[in-house]
Structures are given as structure tokens and as C-alpha cells.
A and B are shown apart, each in its own frame.
Chain A
């Protein structure tokens, strides 16, 4: 899996590639939780290229959301394909995470600071 990192103002942006599975969840977890440990409080994960996610990948989003909430930070996800969004709904993550359609929506939500789920 490829993970791209960008920064726009105080918003840290990850763009992840097609497959987030058992093998790729570990490096993603290290980088996402690592950036929160370093003090990033506004994090956007752009899932536009993502086609497939399993529970190992879902776990990373849950850990990041919990960690950020505990320090009054915000996690926003954007660009979820219908098949991926279906999995997030099935596991109840749409109730505890802020999920928006596009990257622009995500940046806007995080800038406004109303990113709480």
C-alpha cells in the first residue's frame, strides 16, 4: 500500500491506496498514530483510491479516532467508495466518525473545527 502525506495549514492529510488489509494496516497504523503522537490535532484521511478494507484496516481508523478525541482533536474521512462506505456503516463507524464526500468538504470541516462526529 502507498500512503501519501500532505499538510495544508494545520491540517495533516493522508491519502491511502487501493488495499487496506492485514498486511498494510501495520504501516498505516504506525504513520497515522505517529502523527497524532507528534501533536497533529486535525487529520484528514482521503480514501478516494481505497477499494478494499478489512477489519485490520478498520481498527486503525478506530484507534486514531479514539486517540484524537481524547486530546480534543478531529479525524475526518473523505472519498469513501460505496462498497467501502457500506463496510463502515455495517460496523457502525458512520455513527462515531465524521465522514464527508470530498477532500474539499473534509478540509472545510476541519477548518471550521466542527469536525466532531
Chain B
């Protein structure tokens, strides 16, 4: 595993999610991040970025989001910054996993995955930006 970081800036559009996924995978492979940690961080970023893209902006045109990835020490860390509406994903209530099938709801699944997959999650508002940081242990 090699230490290093990358900053990715992409337009706020559904078509960019796949691009982000490919870049995260590539970064992880180049830095020899264990595949389990890479998979988890990739999926967590996918969920968070998808929320931002679908619900973060009234008018997503000409808007960007930024993802920073950092391998150092014992962690793979990610940071997502967007200038969308104030939204703290950590406040979304978890789905009821014990509910019978007909009562299971489709909302909240993605954020539940994010919380389950990551070892650390923090949200803060910085000026007009949402900043979500996440971390996954890699050894």
C-alpha cells in the first residue's frame, strides 16, 4: 500500500457517478488499497454523491462536487464537498430492518449502507458547503 491523495471535481450529473466510481477504483488499485476497503469506500461515496446529485440542487447546471481521497497510515479517508442545500445525511433515521416485507420502505437504504460500511463519518457545514468526511480502516 502506498500513501497518496487525489482530488476529483465533477459536474453534478447522474452520468458522472460511474466516472467517479472508475476513478476511485483506479486510485485504490494504484495505491494497493485492500479490495474490501476500496469496495466499501467506493459504495459509500456512490451513495452520498448520488444523494447530492439527485436532491442537493434546485438547478444542478454548472454545479460541481468535489471528492478527496487520502490513503495514509491505517485509513482510507474520503471527503465529499458540495455547494448544495444544507443536508446532514447522518441525521436521516435508519430503516427498520426488522419490519415485515410489505412494511419495508425504499427510503434510507443508501445512507444505512454508508453508516454500516464506514468506521468513521462526520458532517459539517463550511460556509455554503456541505462537507462529509468518512474513513475506513485498511489494516
Enumerate chain A residues within 8 angstroms of B98, measured Cβ to Cβ: 92, 95
A91 and B113 form a contact (CB under 8 A):
yes
**What 4 A-B pairs are tightest by C-beta distance, nearest first?**
A92-B97, A55-B110, A55-B109, A96-B101
Q: Which of A54, A69, A87 contacts B101 (CB 8 A)?
A: A69
Consensus secondary structure, chain B interface: helix
Count how many chain A residues have C-beta atoms less than 8 Å from C-beta atoms of the other chain. Answer: 25
What separation, in Å, do the CA atoms of A52 and B38 have in the docked complex? 12
Enumerate chain B residues within 8 angstroms of A90, measured Cβ to Cβ: 112-113, 116-117
Q: Which of B17, B21, B47, B102 contacts A69 (CB 8 A)?
A: B102
Q: How far is the CB of B56 from chain A (nearest CB, A)?
A: 14
B106 and A63 form a contact (CB under 8 A):
yes
B101 and A117 form a contact (CB under 8 A):
yes
What separation, in Å, do the CA atoms of A76 and B36 have in the docked complex? 27
Count how many chain B residues have C-beta atoms less than 8 Å from C-beta atoms of the other chain. Answer: 26
Enumerate chain B residues within 8 angstroms of A63, measured Cβ to Cβ: 106
What separation, in Å, do the CA atoms of A72 and B14 have in the docked complex? 36
Given contacts A23-B18, A90-B117, A92-B95, contact A59 B101 (CB under 8 A): no
Residue of A nearest to B36 (CB): A83
Enumerate chain B residues within 8 angstroms of A92, measured Cβ to Cβ: 95, 97-98, 104
B97 and A87 form a contact (CB under 8 A):
no
